Amino acid sequence: MIQDQGQWQPGGGAQDFDFTLMRDDLCITVQVIEKNADPETMLLPRLRKKFQLTGTKYGCGVGGCGACTVMISSYNPVIKRIRHYAANACLIPICSLYRVAVTTIEGIGSTKARIHPVEERIARCHGTQCGFCTPEMVMFILLGNHPESSLEQLTDVLNGNLCRCTGYRSIIDACKTFCKTSGCCQSKENGICHLDQEINELPEFEEVNKTSPKLFSEEEFLPLDPTQESVFPPELMIMAEKQPQRTKIFSGDRMIWISPVTLKELLEAKFNYPQAPVVMGNTSVGPEVKFKGVFHPVIISPDRIEELNFANCSHNGLALGAGLSLTQVKDILGETIQNSPEEKTQMYQALLKHLGTLAGSQIRNMASLGGHIMSRHLDSDLNPLLAMGNCTLNLLSKKGKQQVPLNGDFLRRCPDTDLKPEEILISVNIPYSRKWEFVSASFRQAQQQQNALAIVNSGMRVFFGEGGDIIRHLSIHGDVGPTTICAKNPCQKLIRRYGIMSLDSKPWNEEMLDAACRLVLDVTLPGLALGGKVEFKRTLIISFLFKFYLEVSQMLKRMDPVHYPSLTDKYESALEDLHFRHHCSILKYQSADSKQLLQDTIGHAIMHLSGIKHATGEAIYCDAMPTVDRELFLTFVTSSGAHAKIVSIDLSEALSLPGVVDIVTEEHLHGVNSLCQKEKLLVTEEVFCAGQLICAAIADSEVQAKQAAKRMKIIYQDLKPLILTIEEAIQHNSFKPEKKLEYGNVDEAFKMVDQILEGEIHMGGQEHFYMKTQSMLVVPKGEDQEIPKYIQDIVASTLKLPVNKVMCHDLVKRIGGAFGAKAIKTSIMAAITAFAANNSATVIPSCSATASSIGFMNDGRSLALDMEHYSNGGASLDESLFVIEMGLLKMENAYKFPNLRCRAWACRTNLPSNTALRGSGFPQAGLITGSGTTEVAARCGLPPPTPEGNANLVRMINMYEIGQTPYKQEINTKNLTQCWKERIAMSSYSLRKAAVEKFNSENYWKKKGLAVVPLKFPIGLGSVAAGQAAALVHIYRGSVLVTHGGIEMDQGVHTKMIQVVSRELRMPMSNIHLHGTSTETVPNTNISGGSVVVDLNGLADACTLLKCLEPIISKNPQGTWKDWAQAAFDENISLSATGYFRGYESNMNGETGEVHPFKYFVFGAAYSEVETDYLTGARKNTRTDIVMDVGCSINPALDIGQIEGVFIRGMGLYTIEELNYSPQGVLYARGPNQYKIPAICDIPTELHISLLLLSQSSNTLYSSKGLGESGIFLGCSVFFAIHDAVKVAQQERGLSGPLKLNSPLTPEKIKMACEDKFTKMIPKDKPGSYVLWNIPI
C-alpha cells in the first residue's frame, strides 16, 4: 500500500510514501519508505530490484504474456467493499498505488512457511516445466477460484497467460481439482463421448487400459485453508475511513503525476495541462511510452474519483462511468441482462460477448471504459460496437457540459466532433434496444479466439417498423485491421432502395443482402492497408454481413413465421459458435515394475523437483540473482537497416549521459570479433540484416543503458541488392553450400511409374518465444573469469585467455525455456558481456520452400521422390547447414521411398540469421513428404474409400517395414506399426470418420476434417564427440551430491538424473542433491539439445562408486548409507568419482552415402479432428489422440508433459504463428500483441496421450528414449485435418484441381482457399498498383 506523507507544493520536490507489500502466506506486511517516487517508475522493476520479490517475472513488458501478474487490492469506503483483481506489474506506475495493497506470489505461500493449496496442486499435477510462467498461473487460479467455480470460469481467467512449455493440459488438470466436474467430457461432438465403453474399449485397446495409474493422487492434496485467503490490511481500511482524500502530486526528474480526488480538481488539472493524457490503467499510454518513445511531461490520473465509477439504469438505458474498468463493465452488463427483458438487452448481450474476447483478464481489470473509448485505437474492439449502438458521450470541462454522439466522425477524430483538449469524458450512455430492433456484435475474427487483436471486428444493427414491413434504420460499424469503417452512406442507400417493399414481399431478403454486400464493399481498403491481408479483410466484411442477415432472418421468423421463411438446415450452422470449452483427457502409460526396490523411482510419475519452487516463485533465474557490488548493465544497439553501409556513428551524446560507463564497438574487439569465423560479434562498416549488433552501451543501471542506446546517432546508406525471400536468393544465386542425399535410381523409377506428381510447398518460420529471455551475468575475478563448454570457448577466445581461466556456471540450475535458441546466440552476447566486464534478441528458425516430384503407381505406392529444398538461412551461417543436413536425413519420415534424390540449399538473405529449433529441420522436411503423400492419395485413383480412408491406406502402403534408411542405416519399425494400430483403436477412427461425413453433409458453411500422421524421428547428434558426457558424484555421510553436464531448460533433466542416481546407488531421492552445472566440476560439456541430455548424462553417472562400496555393504547389509560411508572413509576408500560416457557410435561420412548418424528412432502417430468455419476461416481442434513409443519411460509425468508441450508448439508452427516482415526487412511480429502463440483457447477440446508398452529393449539408458523434439511434427496432424476439411468444402462447391495450402495454415488461408459467392464479390487490386505492407517469407 502507499500512505500519504504530506502535500506537494509547487517547487517543493517529490512526495514520500510508504509502500507496503504482502510478503508471505501469513499476510504479514513489510513496509518500506519510498523516497522521491518517480512517476516513470513501474511497479515491476521496483518489486524485483528493490524488494527482491523476483517471483513476479519480466516477460514481454506490454502486459501480453501475464508473467508479471500481481494481485491489487483496494477498499472503497463508500460502498464498504474490497476489490481484489489481477494486474500487470509491468504497466503499473508506482504512483498509482496510493492506499492500495499489492500481493505478489511471495505473499501467497512459500516453502519456508507453508505453501498454498493452489501452489501445491499446480506442481503435483505436473503443471510446470521451465517454471517461468508458473507463478502467474497460480495467481490466476487463486483469483478465479470460488466455492462454486466452473472449469470454464477458471480457464477464462487464464486466457491472458501464456506458457510455451506445458501445452496447458496439466494446468487445466490443476484447475479441475477446484471444480465440480461431471466425469464426462461434456462435448459429445459427433454424438460420441470419449468415455463410451463400447467405442474405446476395443479388443486391441484392452491391454493398454490395464496400465493407467493416475499421474497424481488427489487424496494427497492439501485442503483449502480459509486462513490462507487474501486479507486486506486493516490499517488501509482505517486510513480510507478516517483520513480525508487529498490530491496527490508526484514529481520526478522529467515527469509530474497528478492524482485528483474530485471532479473539480480533475477539471482544474486538465485546464492547466490540456495536453496531459488522462491515465487510469496505463494500458494504452504505458506501452507507447515504453516502446514508441512517446513522452508526457504531465500525467493526470483520476482513478480515485468516485464520480467516474458508477452505473445508473434509467428508462432510456444504462449510463456507465468512464472510470469503470472493462471487467466491472462486464459484470454490470451481465447483471443488467439478468434483470431486464430480453428485447431491451440485445446491445448489452452483444457487448458482453465481445468483452469476453477482448485482451486478457489482467488488461480488462486495469483498462477503463473511458480510456478505451478516448484512445480511439484503430484496432479497438468496443468503439465500433458502441458507435453502432447509438451511444452518446457525456463530456465536462470548466466551461460546462456537452453531449456528443459516439459515431464514425468521433472515431476518426473529425474536428467538429472531437473533444476539446480541456474536456473530460465523464460517462457513456448505452441505450436499450427496442422491439423489432436487432443487434449483433459477435462478428470478430482474429488470429486467435481470445486475447488477440481483431483482423476484422464489426457491429450491426437494424430497426424495423412494427411488423417488419419497413427498415427504419440500419447501422454498420467496424474496425478492419487498423482502419475504422462506418458504412453510413451504403446504409442510407439500402434504406431508400429496400426500406419499404410490396405487400407480398418483405424488405429483409437475399436481393437486399446482395445489394448490401456490394454497397459495403465500396467502403473498401487500399492495397497498402496496414496489417496486410487486404482481400481476406474485404471478404470478412461481407461474410459478417451475411451472418447478420441470417441472424436477423432467424429472429424475424420467430416473430412473424407466416411472412418470413425458415433458414435451410445447411445455413443454420453458420450461426453457431465454433469454440467449446470443456476440456478432457485420458493419459495412458505403463506402470513401473512391481519388483523394483521401494526407493527406486524409475518408471514412476515423479513431480518436477523444482515444481514447488516454480509455483511459489522461489525458483531463481539469472536475472533474479542478487545484485553484486559495482554491477553494470549492458544494452545492445542494433541496426535499423537490412543491408546498408554505416556512414557514421556518433556516440558523444550517449557517453555524456549520467551513469554511462562505456560503449563497446568493433574497434574494442579487434582481432577477436568473430564467432568461429561464422559471424562477426559487432559491426561498424556494413550491416547485413535489421537487428544486427553494432555496439553495446554499459551503464550503472538498466534504464541508463537503454537511454544511452537510444541516444546513439547512426547514419546508414542503403545498399543493393536487398535479398529477403528465397525467390530473390535464387535470382541472385545467393546460396550456401549444397547438401545432397541420393538413394536408388530416381530417373529410371520415373520411367516406370503410372503418375508423376509435381508441386511445391512453402513453410514459414517460428519464433522460439521462450518466456525467459536471454540473460547472462559475468563476474571478473582477477585473471580468472567465472562465466557448457561452447560459451566457455567463445568467451575465452574473445578475452584472449586460456580456457582453463574461464569458468561457466549454471548458478541457478535453470535457464527457462530455450528450444534451441540459447546456445549459439547466447555465446555472442556472453562474449561481448564478458569483454565489457573485463574492461570496465530473438532468433527465428528458418523459413523454407520446397519443389518436389513424386512418382507413384495407381495403387498408391510411391516409387520415387525428387526434391529440391531451399531454406532461408538469413544473413549469417549460424546453424543453417546443420539444420538442412538434419532435414535431409530425416525427410522421408515414416515413409519408404525406394528411389530418392534430395538436394538442399541454405539461402543467404538480408534477414536476421536463423538458428535451430526443436526438430532441427525435421518439421519442415516431414511436412513435405506428408503433403506429397496426401496428394498422392487424392490422385492415385483407388476405389471408394475404405473405413480407414484412402489417405490412411496410402500412408500405410508406403510406411517403412524392416529394412534400410536412405543413408543405409538398419531400422526395425515394429513399434511404428504398433503405434499406428493403437492409434486406430484409441481414436475410434472409423466411427468418428462416419460422424464427420454426416456432419459435413448437413452443414454448408462449417466442415470437419480429420487426419492421421505417422512419426519416425531419429535420435542422435551425428558424431561420437558431440555425444560425450560426464558426471561427478560425491558421497557424504548418508547423502550424495551430484553434478553433470546437462542444462535444465524445461525437460526435467535434473529430476531424471536424481532418479538415475537413486537407482544406481539404491538410495532415496531425498538423500540426493544436485549442484548446478559448472565447467569447474564437469569440463568440456557439450551443448544440451537433440533430446539426448538425459540419455548421455545419465549414462555418465558414477555407478562405479557402488562397486567400490560393495565389500563394505556386504559386511553390513542391514546398515544405512551413513554407516557404509563412514566405514569406507575409515578404510581409505574414495567417496568421490567421475562418470564418463564416450558417446553413441556415429558416422557421418557423406561421401560414401553410408552413414550411421543416429542411435535409435522414436516412433509415434497422431490423430486430429478439426471444425472449420468457411465464412471466417476460423477453426478449432476438437480432438487429438497421440501414441508415442518412449521405450521404458524414466518418468511418465515428465515425458507426457514433453509430448503435450511440443505438440502444442507444433500446432502453433503449422497453423497459428505467422512472421511478417516489412519490404525493408524489418520484423513486424515482435511481442505477444503482434505474434500469437497457442493459448488455452487453442488447445484440443479432447487431448489423449498413450505411451506405447515396452515391446523391445534398446541399448539406451534403461531402454528409455528422448522425447524433447520428435512430437513437434505431430502438430501437423492439425494442419492435415484442416486440409481435409478444406478439400471437402472445395468439392461441395465444385472446385477441382490440386489443393495448395502452405504453412502456417491461418484463418486467412483457410477462408481464401474456398471460393464462394463472397470471395467472388471482392474487388481485386492489380499487382503493381500498390506497395505491399508485408512480404511473404
What are the tens digits of pLDDT across the range 1091-1123? 788 888 888 875 566 777 888 888 898 888 888
Arithmetic mean of pLDDT, 162-169: 90
By DSSP bridging, strand 392-397 and strand 317-321 are unpaired
Question: Distances from the Cα of 1085 to the Cαs of 70, 1009, 1061, 1268, in angstroms?
Answer: 39, 47, 19, 19
Nearest to 1086 by CA among 700, 788, 708: 788
DSSP structural state of residue 606: P
Arithmetic mean of pLDDT, 131-141: 88
CB 131 within 8 A of CB 171: no
CB 556 within 8 A of CB 1149: no
CA dist., res. 668 & res. 646, Å (int)? 17
Question: Distances from the Cα of 717 to the Cαs of 608, 825, 1096, in angstroms?
Answer: 53, 27, 50
DSSP H helices in 1037-1170:
1053-1065, 1093-1099, 1104-1115, 1121-1130
Q: Per-residue DSSP letters for 250-304?
A: EE-SS-EEEE-SSHHHHHHHHHH-TTSPB-SS-TTHHHHHHHS----SEEE--TT
Number of Cβ within 10 Å of residue 246's Cβ equals: 17
Arithmetic mean of pLDDT, 955-978: 88
End-to-end CA distance of the chain: 49
pLDDT of residue 1200 exceeding 90, the answer is: yes
> Residue 17 has what pLDDT?
53
CB 284 within 8 A of CB 380: no
Number of Cβ within 10 Å of residue 705's Cβ equals: 24
CA dist., res. 1278 & res. 1287, Å (int)? 14
The segment with the largest mean pLDDT, out of 229-233, 380-384, 481-485, 1183-1187, is 1183-1187
pLDDT band of 204, cuts 50, 70, 90: very low
Q: Is the model more confident about 195 or about 755?
A: 755
Q: Which of 12-16, 307-311, 814-818 has the lowest mean pLDDT?
A: 12-16
> Residue 1267 has what pLDDT?
86
pLDDT band of 909, cuts 50, 70, 90: very high
Q: Which amino acid is at 187?
A: S
> Residue 902 has what pLDDT?
93
Q: Which amino acid is at 250?
A: F
- Tell how far CA 364 is from the center of its chain: 19
Q: pTM of this prediction?
A: 0.91
The segment with the largest mean pLDDT, out of 308-322, 525-539, 563-577, 1285-1299, is 308-322
DSSP structural state of residue 1182: E
Q: Is the peptide bond before 1304 cis (omega within 30 degrees of 0)?
A: yes
> Residue 395 has what pLDDT?
94
pLDDT of residue 647 exceeding 60, the answer is: yes
Nearest to 802 by CA among 829, 783, 775, 820: 783
pLDDT of residue 203 exceeding 50, the answer is: no
The dihedral region occupied by 926, where left means phi > 0, alpha psi between -120 and 50, and beta the remainder, is: alpha
CA dist., res. 84 & res. 1003, Å (int)? 45
> Residue 373 has what pLDDT?
92
Q: Is the model more confident about 581 or about 1325?
A: 1325
Arithmetic mean of pLDDT, 949-974: 87
Cell triple for 564: 418470413
Strand 424-431: give its sheet, edge to edge: 311-313, 317-321, 424-431, 392-397, 400-405
Q: Which helix (H) or strand (E) holds 1204?
A: helix 1196-1215
C-alpha torsion 1063→1064→1068→1074, nearest 10: -110
pLDDT of residue 1085 exceeding 80, the answer is: no
CA dist., res. 49 & res. 1081, Å (int)? 31
> Residue 534 has what pLDDT?
84
> Residue 876 has what pLDDT?
85
Nearest to 1124 by CA among 1110, 1137, 1138: 1110
Sign of CA dihedral 527, 532, 536, 539: negative
CA dist., res. 1166 & res. 1188, Å (int)? 9
> Residue 27 has what pLDDT?
46
pLDDT of residue 743 exceeding 50, the answer is: yes
CA angle 1166, 1309, 867 (to 5 degrees): 65
Distant-in-sequence, close-in-space partners of 256: CB < 8 Å, separation ≥ 6: 39, 249, 250, 297, 298, 299
Q: Which of 143-147, 318-322, 407-411, 922-926 has the lowest mean pLDDT?
A: 143-147
Arithmetic mean of pLDDT, 1285-1305: 89
Q: Is the peptide bond before 1196 cis (omega within 30 degrees of 0)?
A: no
Q: Is the model more confident about 3 or about 312?
A: 312
pLDDT of residue 364 exceeding 70, the answer is: yes
CB 1190 within 8 A of CB 421: no
Nearest to 65 by CA among 97, 90, 47: 90
pLDDT of residue 182 exceeding 50, the answer is: no
Q: Which of 121-125, 614-618, 621-625, 1207-1211 has the lowest mean pLDDT?
A: 621-625
Q: Per-residue DSSP letters for 123-172?
A: HHTT--SS-SSHHHHHHHHHHH--TT--HHHHHHHGGG---SSS-SHHHH
- Tell how far CA 670 is from the center of its chain: 40
Distant-in-sequence, close-in-space partners of 634: CB < 8 Å, separation ≥ 6: 664, 696, 697, 698, 705, 832, 833, 836
> Residue 183 has what pLDDT?
47
DSSP H helices in 988-1052:
989-1002
> Residue 722 has what pLDDT?
95
CB 790 within 8 A of CB 1084: no
Exposed/middle/buried for residue 1242 (C-beta within 10 Å: 0-12, 13-18, 19+): buried
> Residue 533 has what pLDDT?
85
Nearest to 1199 by CA among 1252, 1244, 1266: 1266
Report the chain's mean pLDDT, rounded to a whole number: 83
CB 749 within 8 A of CB 864: yes
pLDDT of residue 787 exceeding 50, the answer is: no
Nearest to 917 by CA among 1047, 796, 1040, 825: 825
Number of Cβ within 10 Å of residue 784's Cβ equals: 12
pLDDT of residue 196 exceeding 60, the answer is: no
Active site residue 535: no
> Residue 1268 has what pLDDT?
83
CA dist., res. 63 & res. 283, Å (int)? 8
Question: Distances from the Cα of 519 to the Cαs of 474, 494, 709, 1097, in angstroms?
Answer: 13, 8, 51, 68
CA dist., res. 1004 & res. 1293, Å (int)? 9
pLDDT band of 1140, cuts 50, 70, 90: confident
Cell triple for 599: 526407493
Q: Which helix (H) or strand (E) holds 319?
A: strand 317-321
> Residue 841 has what pLDDT?
35
> Residue 239 has what pLDDT?
82
Distant-in-sequence, close-in-space partners of 1034: CB < 8 Å, separation ≥ 6: 1040, 1041, 1042, 1135, 1136
DSSP structural state of residue 862: E
pLDDT of residue 621 exceeding 90, the answer is: no
pLDDT of residue 199 exceeding 70, the answer is: no
Q: Is the model more confident about 1303 or about 778?
A: 1303
Q: Which of 251-265, 750-764, 1244-1258, 1277-1291 has the lowest mean pLDDT?
A: 1244-1258
Nearest to 1207 by CA among 1180, 1234, 1247: 1247
> Residue 796 has what pLDDT?
62
Q: Which one of 189, 935, 1064, 1269 is the catalytic residue? A: 1269
